[in-house]
Amino acid sequence: MKPIVSVMKAAMMATLLCMITSCSGEGKLFEGAGDIGSPKLKGSFTYDEATQVYTLTGAGTNMWLQSDEFFMVWKKESGDFSLSARIAFEGEGVNAHRKLGLIIRETLAGESRYADVAVHGDGLTSLQYRDATGGETREVVAPTPGADHITLERAGRKILIKTGTGAYAQTPTGEIEIDLPDTCYIGLFVCSHEEDVLETARFSDVRYRP
């Protein structure tokens, strides 16, 4: 029988590991986390194993134009996938353009090619993307704002989003084709749209299917 102190120490280390690298009841889902670009304020995240909620806190001036600043929890993945989550901001926020969502990026550099499903503080819900490194960001606006259940899917060159209120949508609400390498970074993100402000977002019922 292991000493009680050793068991408690192991449990504390396991909890700390979850907070740093993220893990789920079925094993580690995400591999890493960090700021993208160079936000003035450092972001962070925790994972509550009991509720299976990821809580991300981050800053960043924007995710637009030729480069991005935000906080991301990520895993490196190859091929097609589907990633879903129920999402919510904490508090009323400072800037109406603060955003949270699900994302796929070629690299972790600020100017990387990417696509995401983003929900803004004012309810705007869209598929945002940059199809050339350092190029302009574009978007496809979803027909219904204020989504709280979102899905990001990759099928070959296609990126699809599904956005719903109160439940997961079964049909796409936005679609593009974009050239991305087979292996990319996918994950969760939050951006405050204010360099001196940290915003917090919660991601629950996170579902991943390769």
Q: For the chain, give every domain's residue range.
A: 4-209
CB 74 within 8 A of CB 32: yes
- In terms of average pLDDT, the best of 4-8, 25-29, 137-141 is 137-141
Predicted local confidence at residue 25, as pLDDT: 35
Cα of 185 vs its chain's centroid, Å = 10
pLDDT given for residue 182 in this prediction = 98
User: What pLDDT shows up at residue 195?
Assistant: 98
The C-alpha atoms of residue 102 and residue 165 are separated, in whole angstroms, by 16
- In terms of phi and psi (left: phi > 0; alpha: psi -120 to 50; beta: otherwise), the region of 37 is left
| Full-model pTM | 0.88
Residue-wise pLDDT for 86-108, tens only, equals 999 999 999 999 999 999 999 99
pLDDT tens-digit readout, 23-79: 333 336 999 999 999 999 999 999 999 999 999 999 999 999 999 999 999 999 999
Question: For domain 4-209, which architecture applies?
Answer: Sandwich (2.60)
Residue 5 has pLDDT above 80, yes or no: no
